[in-house]
Structure 1
Amino acid sequence: MTKQASHSGSIKAKILIVDDEPRSIQSLETLLAAYNYTVVSALGGVSACKKLQNQNFDLVLLDLNMPDKNGHEVMEFMARNNIDTATIVVSGESAFSTVSRALRLGAWDYLKKPYDPEELIATAENALRQKRLKDAHRLMQQRLKRSEELHRYLVNHSPDIVFMLDQDGRFTFLNSKVESQLGYTKADLIGQHYLAIVDGKDKDKADYYFHVDPPPPGTKDNNNAIFNHDAIRNFEIYLSLAGGNGSRCYEITIFPIQRKVNGLKRDEQHPGRHHKSGIFIGLYGTARDVTEKKEAERYITYQAYHDLLTRLPNRELFKERLKLSIAQAKRNKTRLAVMFLDLDRFKVVNDTLGHAMGDRLLQEVSDRLGHCLRDGDTLSRFGGDEFTLLLPSISTREDARQVSRKIIQTIKEPFTLGEHEVFVGISIGISIFPETGLTVEELIQNSDAAMYHVKTGGKNGYQFFVNSMKNRSSNRLKKERDLRSALENNEFNVYYQPQVNTKTGDIIGVEALVRWHHPERGIIYPAEFLSLAEETGLIIDISEWVLVTACREVREWIKNGHEYIRLAVNLSPKQFEHPRFVRQLIRQLKLTDFPARNLEIEISENIIMNDLEHIIRKLNALNEYGISIAIDDFGTGYSSLSYIHKLPLHTLKVDQSFVKDLQNQVGKPCIVNAIIAMAQGLRLNIIAEGVETAEQLDYLKKIGCHEIQGFYFAKAEPASKTLTMINRQPRVFAI
């Protein structure tokens, strides 16, 4: 093995030779070059200082006796200028004071001339090795310091509360978020047990998740000691605010902290304390405030089972409770009653005073009906001006009769709606389990039929169902016949409601809405006939007619210069679930010559939740064809936020129930904010429906809503009037 090969690890080392004798320099250069060192020489101390200032060296071989600047002065220069280079003195000077001074100035070693070449090489190798270790240690310390600074920054700027607990469950560290979020100072809590800030109702839950660990034998029993979790745990608990000012919901994540001890074995009797990887010394955790998220989830769940206008249970919740009551009645061999209630003269009020007053009337009716209930009864809004009432336990028909009389008497009193005094009546049909119905559907249908008999007999009364009554009222059959003939007689019309850009005030889209021009009753709004159309299957024909008609009419607008206009069309669940739906929709676009990029289809959340995988395939096919997709009335169906990122969505439509009285209703602003923030995060377009006031508009603009739709700008109008509005652009509306 050659010398060069044996020292290949030092090939890149750069050495400065400093001497005033050229022959000494040449001798050292020859020796070091043979060992593959990179060598730079300096003739005298002054030249050495210049080179040390301008270049980096791993090692300096320094003579002491030099006329211009001696070796001691060179070392002092290096110290003043923080030049951290290993130095070996190679000099003929051997006086103790001279050598001692050199070592005090930082020399790593001292070699006397004439030197032994092998000793010099060995000394240089040792010096370089120590230099490399020193540099590596310094670099590691710098990295550790930067890492600590970064961790400290992340902890102090985290949106979450960050904490550490010792084995006894007491706080040893908290970041500043505990003060801004809960109101405690860090000094208040350091040394305190974590249960000190857990809300009373969640103390047992917290104790379970942190877990009580029995102490090892021979130690004092401590019932508050925390358990050494083998894995990360995540759970939600309520934490108390300082000063007893309530509590907020937090998502807690905890991690075990262990001190590594080589060779430590698990204590089989108390595995929670000792592990193969080390000794458990406490927990590190984070607490994230999820109060608003929990409120939003609760509210969305509430929407799935309640009517937004009256806050009463909807038909789905009513049916669930009726099903449960039937099961209980069978077990207990008891009876129950289902009452179907329909307001008399509601349409007159609604048509005369407007929908806003009609909504207020429904709310006041709901409030009065609620005061007629017994404990355990369920009142629901079934749709429109129809209500259902469940009496889960009755002794005789007389119990239902008394409740009916009380309701009729209560509703008979006048209602004050603004400046108007309004009188309405109520018709009630009653079915009894088990005499006149054994199932949910039978009881509801039979009470509906009994109610219709009251309507045909003069209204404002009650009637028990008898078997001679038909399952379907003739009124309902007549509605169905009228609905079927409406398509044949071209009684439907498409109206368009503008969608307005909140920044520019321009109409950038329209939503197609159907109106039924009944030959006897005049204009009938969708709320009065769409549910019947769904039940009879006519909704598919009606929806297809609306789509084709809207495409033909809006296509003319596009051809005449409004190429930007977007057409939004609602799709019914039955229409969307058709196996050839995508193919038929694309075919209709081709037949009407309507550009796919101008079409936006609106679907409800409930459609999506039926069969998510199947729905995704259909929506992807539409999206690839260029059609935009919107979720209509977002938040009012069975919402699951997890599905949104899986779908090729373009738009979320904020339901008008969230927009209505936005500035006054507690809880609603937080839902609107959450929906809009989520949509912005997912880069979705946002449309707010039902905007009726300037205050609502200002609030929505402030939180970043892109588009607006509602009576504040324009109600739905036929095609000709809508086109007139569009032609008056730009700035049809003052935003």
Structure 2
Amino acid sequence: MGSPISVLILENDSNSVFDLVREMKSGGLSPLYRVVESFPSWETTVHEEDWDAILCSTREPFHSEIPIYLQYLNDKKLDIPVILLSDSEEFTKNLSYMKSGVNDIIDRKNLLRLTEVLERERRELVYRKEKNTTETFLYQSLKEIQLQKFALDQANIVSITDANGIITYVNDAFSKVTGYSVSELIGQNHRIMKSTDKTKEDWTKIWEIIQKGKVWRGEIRNIKKDGSDYWADTTIVPFTGQDKSVFQYIAIHHDITDRKLAEQQLTHDAFYDNLTGLPNRALFLARIEQKIFAYNMKDSGYPILFCINIDNFKRINHSLGNEAGDKVLQIFAERLKKYSDSDAIITRLGADNFAILLTHILSIDEGVNFAFRLLERLGDPIPIGGYSIYLTASSGISGFGLGGKEADVLLRNAEIAMFHAKSQKVGTVSVFNQAMQEKIHFQLEIQNDLKKALTQNEIFVYYQPILDIKENKIGHWEALVRWRHPQRGMVSPGEFIPLAEDSGLIVSITKFVLERAADVIEEVQLKQGHPISIAVNLSPQVFFDQNIFHWIVDLHNRRNIPYTSLQVEITESLAMKNLSETVPILSNLIDIGVKVALDDFGTGFSSLSYLEKLPLSILKIDKSFLNNVEVGTKESFLLVSIINMAHDLGYSVVAEGVEELEQLELLKSFQCDKIQGYWLSKPIGNEDIVPFIKKFNSKQEKT
């Protein structure tokens, strides 16, 4: 099979076309050809193939159109060889076309040169195309290199050194980031930047890599001319000659200082407390693990933990603001560092909780002595906002062994001991023991069971009657929540109410009590016509964090419960906690008809100035005031004074804990309004309320 060639033939003589094709084939070519007979047909066809040559007749009509064909090829930048087929007598005339761009002229009566001319023109055409492609590629490559160099200089810090590491070139970015001028850098080596993060061994390894012609990449911390640090992500590219030896290095640097500073800040934030700068819990636990490991390996450096909590810290935030509280925490942290030993590891665990790890103390007794000395020194007054703040702190201790053998256990037990110390007496020290652990476990179990209690109908409400002494009627009751545990039996409110407050379950429990109180009011008052008022105790969490006012309004709207049939009881400590919040809530309740009682009066602040500011309906005197009261004693004078004071303020007085007839008679003589206690009745179930009222009224009628 011959060599393929694509030819466009401009000829209207079919015999001549036959001769051309036959000659090409006899010359060893395999022609792919098209024949056109006019310029319009040629104009379309010339773009259809990648033609190797155009064979054009010089006879009419083509003779007069040859300049048009040549001009068209030139205008369209089509590089196709044009070969004229001329008659012998026109040969001389057609030479003028050679000057216009025709590649060759062949005598149509003697086609022996046709194959040779076609192959020659095709070779030259291929050469021209390859040359153009190569030139275009080289031009583009040169342009790309120039752009890359420009971009490299603009976007990167670039330096070039010779084989010995002497700087031969730096761009402006290198000079700008280092603070050195170009003249100061040329002729120096990179040691002028005094890299501080690489050892001599590190640099030896880097040189071994790049001297072998391999690329090295890594992060380097250098020092600027002004002494400040900067970080660079550096790539060092070695260039080798024909003998494979390195003759220069190009180093491309990216300034990553901002990123490294951000990473350092993130690391600091992850392991240090932002307010005090002390290690946080995560880092502290890691340090404990290290000391435990060292102790196990060397049997020296006994790890002992002190968990320290500032007593009543919340009152500082509440009275002076969070900014003052933060300042107190910072000063407290500085004092811990000042008064602890130099090898102490100190942390802020969170809020007002701190911890200290020591390893030089040899016994728990010695640790207790250290803790008491430290707490005494921490008590020095702190001047804040014109006030002198006197702090006390409580501490819990756990030592390696009995206090745990793992970091998290050791710390947790120190915290347990600290909470135990606070529950006993503020400003004191407790050492962890197993009984504390068991108490915590018990409380956790109770708390977990309490979560299920409401859904499993274990929580219920009892009601204790309150006697109106003057009218000798039972109209008021106090709702008392109870819990019957399926295994433990009756759980004391003193045990589960604090746990409910800590866990937030007190919110659900209070709503439950309100709904049950509404059940009683519906049954006793709305259905059976016995006037009744039920008091519900409010915890601080329910009172401040939840809107008790809207709860009661909702209860009234949903169930038509009269506002006057509900009463809320708050403690002195709750009432005095934040008067600016307490007074509006109580005023709103009284405005809609809900009675407000101050419970357990005399066991909290007992401040008359505060009492005068509170919008109250009832004052309930704690049962402790009835102990050993006899006419003419100081206790009796105090009790009478409280009753008279309450009456002067417009409050009704209820005495709690009345268990004997003599106490009732005495309270009558003191003009007390109401009494509550076992003398009248223990708390009873809702089903017993109406029978109790009827029985009581029946007795009164008989007397």
- Give the structure-1-normalised TM-score: 0.48
Greater Rg over alpha carbons, structure: 2
- Larger relative contact order, structure 1 or 2 (CA cutoff 8 Å, min sep 6): 1
- Give the structure-2-normalised TM-score: 0.49
